[in-house]
Amino acid sequence: MGIYVITGGTTGIGAEVRRKLLDQGHEVFNIDYKGGDYIADLSTEEGRKGAIKAVFLKYPDGVDSVICNAGVGPTAPPKMIFALNYFASIAIADGLRPLLKKKGGSCVVTSSNSITNMTVKMDWVDMLSNVGDEKPIMEFAEQIPREKTPSCYSSSKHALARWVRRVSSSWAADGMRINAVAPGNTTTPMTKGMTEKQMDAALLIPIPTRYGRKEFLDAVEIANGIVFLASPEASGINGVILFIDGGIDALLRSERF
C-alpha cells in the first residue's frame, strides 16, 4: 500500500479522495487549515514551509503520491485566490518532489474547467506563470476590485494547468509523473450554499451527462479521476489535464483536443 499526501482533504472533493484512498488501504496524510493531520494556512509562505517540513519528518524514505487539492472559489479575495490556488499548489508539489523522486511517485493537482471560461485574463495567466514572483503579484492583487474575482479564479486555474504541462517532461525525466484534473461544476460545501439564481447561471450551459436535470456532478466522480491519475495504473499518463466535467469541455471546444 502507498503513502499519499493530500492538501485540502477535509471537505468536498478532497474528502472523497481521502476516503477512497483509505478504503483501498493506503496511508493518507492530510494537510488542511482545519481537520487535517497537519494544520496549515497554505496561502502563506510560513504555512507551506511548515507543511513541507512536517511531511519530510514523517516520511523521510519518500511518498508515493502528492495531491494538491486545496483551493478557494471565485468569491474569495484576489490575494487569497492567487496565493492558495496557484502559488501554494506549486510550492507543495515542488517542495515534496524529492520525496516523490525516492519512490518514483506521482503528483495530481486540481485545476478547473474554468480554463475554458471567458473570464480568463491571459495577461494575468502570463503574469502568474511567466513572472512567478509572488510578492509583486500579491501587491498587484491588492488593486484588483472584488467584482473581478471570477477572473482571478479562472486565471489562477489556467496558469496552474499551464504549469503542469510545462514541468511534466522534467518530472518524467526524474522518474515521476504530474497531471491535473479539471472538474466541472461539482456539489461541494463551496457550492451547496448557492442560491437558485446562482445555480441557474452555473447551469446556463447544461452538463451533458446531467442533461434534463438541475444538478451538478458528484464529488466522488472527481475523486475517482484523481485517485486513478495518482495510482500506478496511470503509469503511462503524464502532463495531462483530465476534464471531469460531464462533457462540458468537449461541448464548448469540440475541435480542440
- Is the distance from CB of 108 to CB of 160 less than 8 angstroms? no
Told to judge if 59 belongs to the known catalytic residues of this protein, a careful annotator would answer no
Do the Cβ atoms of 85 and 35 come closer than 8 Å?
Answer: no
Half-sphere exposure of 51 (CA within 13 A, CB side): 33
Q: Which of 133, 64, 52, 54 is nearest to 94 (CA)?
A: 52
Report the alpha-carbon distance of residue 110 to residue 100 in Å, rounded: 18
- Looking at 59, 86, 153, 211, which residue is catalytic? 153
Q: Which long-range contacts (CB under 8 A, 24 or more apart) does 16-19 make?
A: 16/219, 16/220, 16/222, 16/223, 17/67, 17/69, 17/223, 17/226, 17/227, 19/223
Q: Classify residue 237 as left (phi > 0), alpha (psi -120 to 50) or beta.
A: beta
Active site residues: 153
